[in-house]
Amino acid sequence: MKKVLMSLFIAFAIVVPTQAATYNAASRVSTVGVNLLNKSGIPSTNVKFMVVSGAVDNSNYAKDKVVNVSSSELSYAGNDNEVAAVVANELGHIISGHASKGKVVALFTGSTTASEDSAASTLVSNYKYTKEEKEADIIATNLMVSAGYNPLAIIVVLTKQTGTYWETLQGKPANADRAMSVYNYVSFAYPEKIKAGYGCNEYRNFVSYATPIVEKRNADKKQLSKYEKEQEKAKKNSTSQLTKFKTRGGLSGWDAAFELLQAN
């Protein structure tokens, strides 16, 4: 009998890691995406989720209700929390209307590309990209919490990636700026999530990087006050964008503007 139990234990021990290793992030996108929408009160009946390679373009969401998700981003997702981090970020961009904003600008300028190629325009482009990603991350955090996912998974997915030369030189995790933005917001809006943590090396390594930054900020009254005001503003802005998105029936402000411009 002991031999039989031992054999079963060994078989179970072999099977469990194999199942964990074969987690298919792409196959979970639709289920996770629908859950993110439904739990935030956004109808998902006609919404489709598609995994795509290359650049992701969700500028036509208002028309076709398709949410495109990057296969390369999903390669860093090892569970449903991390899949939710990737999908929620795309939903954050859609709710903010980032891609639609580009379409509105194109109607006025008659061009979809930058008019000049210079160091200055590159810096402006990088700033705009980072600002929009952070905005999408904040909305993603709220969507994830509402749907029961751990928002710290956003940090894990970001820091699993390969860091830039400059980040490596400074001893920073990959995507340190965005990850810190998420950590700050979660600390402010959902402190219980910070207390619960996230059980993986990527998150533990990030916390080691973030802790002295947080301690230094908290020791400075001016910096702490600035932090609290910024987080309160981010919370109000993201909540407002989500509310308006639902009120308009799945349209961001830029989507609505684009439709009005086309009708005139």
Q: What is the pTM of this model?
A: 0.85
For residues 103 and 77, give the distance between their C-alpha atoms in angstroms, rounded to a whole number.
Answer: 31
pLDDT in tens, 1-12: 445 444 444 444
**Which among 100, 95, 77 is positioned nearest to 23, based on CA atoms?**
77
pLDDT in tens, 131-151: 999 999 999 999 999 999 999
Tokens of 214: 């947080």
φ/ψ of residue 69, rounded to 5: -125, 135
Per-residue pLDDT at 256: 74
Q: Reduced to 3 states, what is the DSSP secondary structure of residue 49?
A: strand
The residue to which tokens 């036509």 are assigned: 60
CA distances from residue 242 to 4, 88, 96, 113, 186 in whole angstroms, order as listed: 56, 12, 8, 29, 17
Tokens of 67: 């949410």
Per-residue pLDDT at 126: 64
Tokens of 101: 């904003």
For residues 50 and 54, give the distance between their C-alpha atoms in angstroms, rounded to a whole number.
Answer: 13
Give the CA-trace dihedral at 49, 53, 57, 63, to 10 degrees.
-40
Mean pLDDT by 10 residues, the chain (264 residues): 45 42 93 98 95 93 95 98 98 92 72 49 60 97 98 98 89 95 98 97 97 98 98 97 94 77 68
| Burial of residue 141, with CB atoms counted within 10 A of its CB: 0-12 exposed, 13-18 middle, 19 or more buried | buried
Contact assessment for residue 156 and residue 200, using Cβ atoms and an 8 Å cutoff: yes
